[in-house]
Amino acid sequence: MQKSRIKLHSNVPVILANGIFPKHDMCLDILRNAKILICTDGSANQLNSLPIKPTYIIGDLDSIDKCKTFNSKIIHDKSQDNTDLEKAIEWIYSEGYRDVIILGATGLREDMSLINQFLIFKYFKKINITTVTDHFTISCIKGEKEIDSFENQLVSLIPENRAIVSSKGLKFELEKANISIDGKTISNKSKKNKFKITSSEKLLVFQSHK
Amino acid sequence: MQKSRIKLHSNVPVILANGIFPKHDMCLDILRNAKILICTDGSANQLNSLPIKPTYIIGDLDSIDKCKTFNSKIIHDKSQDNTDLEKAIEWIYSEGYRDVIILGATGLREDMSLINQFLIFKYFKKINITTVTDHFTISCIKGEKEIDSFENQLVSLIPENRAIVSSKGLKFELEKANISIDGKTISNKSKKNKFKITSSEKLLVFQSHK
């Protein structure tokens, strides 16, 4: 089985959101090794066939009796102003964590997938969100950052709105490029085991799996 | 089979993009009835098992020999500055069309899904894009618009950045609400067979299928 490139410190909580259930080994590895696993309501149902139990379940749990089955703790937050995923992030933040890994954030409903990716921007100053999907590890940077990679890794860069971006170590280098949310900065490639990005604004970095 | 709610005028071209191949009857209905079907390179491969042939295939067609099999016309555009989907939209626009339906725009690669949804904003003034997925019909509005619907249809509203939005005919009405890309304006519901939206800026309207 492929080893996760994300260091699973015992104190990094994992959220399983209610998008498409992850299939990639890297996601399942993270799921299996999570010390603290938080399910957003219905996502817990998808764990039935696996020997994995959520530590916490958050949401309005009217339709789910799995909390008993799983013996999970329940986090009640009936706010109408945010999604269950955002409730889970807020709860994690309130518990003092400053890093979180999110699985199941994309796929199925496109409205949810879209706002779930924008949550990374929203919480950037408060909590460091890493979203892992079947295709990518998605993180957010601002300023200068050196990022672990591998040769020919697919790298896509998408800003919140616009950004001035430079790169070092990509196949198509950017030199103070004024970029927006379009196709011009997707499907780039890493040349070696590290690349560097400098961005004037918050920028999503998509890195394909090995 | 469920009837498409989108009027398939003979002069509305359909693009099949290279995301997840659509399964919903409404998408397949659109695909079967398209008078002009444009495939973005690899998406043509997915038509193998169906009695459907693309009218045009666009992209760098190095890896695809289906153009011969399908007897499709080839649109050559080797620009590195945009995706195959954007090339297809540009070509349709240059041919004089002002409406297009896009299938297969989401799913699989999240970077592509994200920018494909933002293409609706980018081309708003030039061409009226309707994206149909297995979950939603997605369109873009600005100003005031009355939209066909049905009771309890799921309606999500996501602006390009921010917008002042009012609604008439939704379960949770908006009254000059200052909205952004977050969870506050998703999962609303239509009360009847029409609802009205007024938006100061470009706004994606997601409407679930029947």
Tokens linked to A29? 């590895």
Residue to substitute from A108, A110, A121, A204, interface B, most B β-carbons within 10 A: A110
Per-residue pLDDT averaged across B110-121, rounded?
97
Full pLDDT tens readout for chain A, 210 residues: 334 445 555 579 999 999 999 999 999 999 999 999 999 988 888 887 888 999 999 977 765 665 566 778 888 887 878 899 999 999 999 999 999 999 999 999 999 999 999 999 999 999 999 999 999 999 999 999 999 999 999 999 999 999 999 999 999 999 999 999 998 999 999 999 999 999 999 999 999 999
Q: Would you call B115 and A161 a contact, using CB atoms and an 8 Å cutoff?
A: no
Spell out which residues of chain A touch residue B129, defining contact as CB-CB under 8 Å. none
Instruction: Report d(CA A179, CA B122) in Å as an integer.
Output: 14
* Domains identified in chain A and CATH numbers: 14-134 (3.40.50.10240), 139-208 (2.60.120.320)
How does residue B65 score in pLDDT terms, banded at 50, 70 and 90? Answer: low
User: Is this complex scored with an ipTM above 0.90?
Assistant: yes
Residue B54 to chain A, least CA–CA distance (Å): 24
- Structure confidence at residue A64 (pLDDT): 61
Q: Would you call A82 and B184 a contact, using CB atoms and an 8 Å cutoff?
A: yes
- Amino acid at site B55: T
Q: Is the pLDDT of residue B6 over 80?
A: no
Chain B residues bordering chain A (beta-carbon distance below 8 Å): 81-83, 85-86, 106-115, 117-119, 122, 133, 135-136, 138, 156, 158, 161, 181-184, 186-187, 206
CB proximity list for A28: less than 8 A, separation 6 or greater: A22
Per-residue pLDDT averaged across B171-198, rounded?
96
Tokens linked to A90? 């807020």
Per-residue pLDDT averaged across B66-84, rounded?
78
- The residue with greater pLDDT, B127 or A41, is B127
Spell out which residues of chain B touch residue A186, defining contact as CB-CB under 8 Å. 83, 111-112, 115
Chain A residues bordering chain B (beta-carbon distance below 8 Å): 81-83, 85-86, 106-115, 117-119, 122, 133, 135-136, 138, 156, 158, 161, 181-184, 186-187, 206
- The minimal CB distance from A136 to the residues B85, B111, B136 is found for B111
> What angle do helix axes A110-122 and A84-94 make, rounded to 10 degrees?
20
Task: Give ∠ CA B89-B94-B98 in degrees, rounded to 5.
Answer: 65
Q: Which of B132, B162, B178, B92 is nearest to B6 (CA)?
A: B132
Kindly report the length of chain B. 210
Tokens linked to A100? 């979180």
Chain A and chain B share a number of CB contacts under 8 A equal to 86
- The minimal CB distance from B111 to the residues A112, A122, A186 is found for A186
Q: Would you call B114 and A83 a contact, using CB atoms and an 8 Å cutoff?
A: no
Instruction: Report d(CA B25, CA B29) in Å as an integer.
Output: 6
Task: Give ∠ CA B161-B164-B168 in degrees, rounded to 5.
Answer: 125
- Structure confidence at residue B68 (pLDDT): 59
- The minimal CB distance from B181 to the residues A81, A118, A183 is found for A118
Q: Would you call B184 and A135 a contact, using CB atoms and an 8 Å cutoff?
A: no
Residue-wise over A20-48: b if at least 16 C-beta within 10 A, else e? bbbebebbbbbbeebebbbbbbbbbebbe
Residue of B nearest to A105 (CA): B110
Residue B163 to chain A, least CA–CA distance (Å): 14
Instruction: Report d(CA A138, CA B123) in Å as an integer.
Output: 27
Q: Which of A2, A6, A12, A84 is nearest to A44 (CA)?
A: A84
A140, A124 contact by CB (below 8 A): yes
Residue to substitute from B24, B89, B111, B121, interface A, most A β-carbons within 10 A: B111
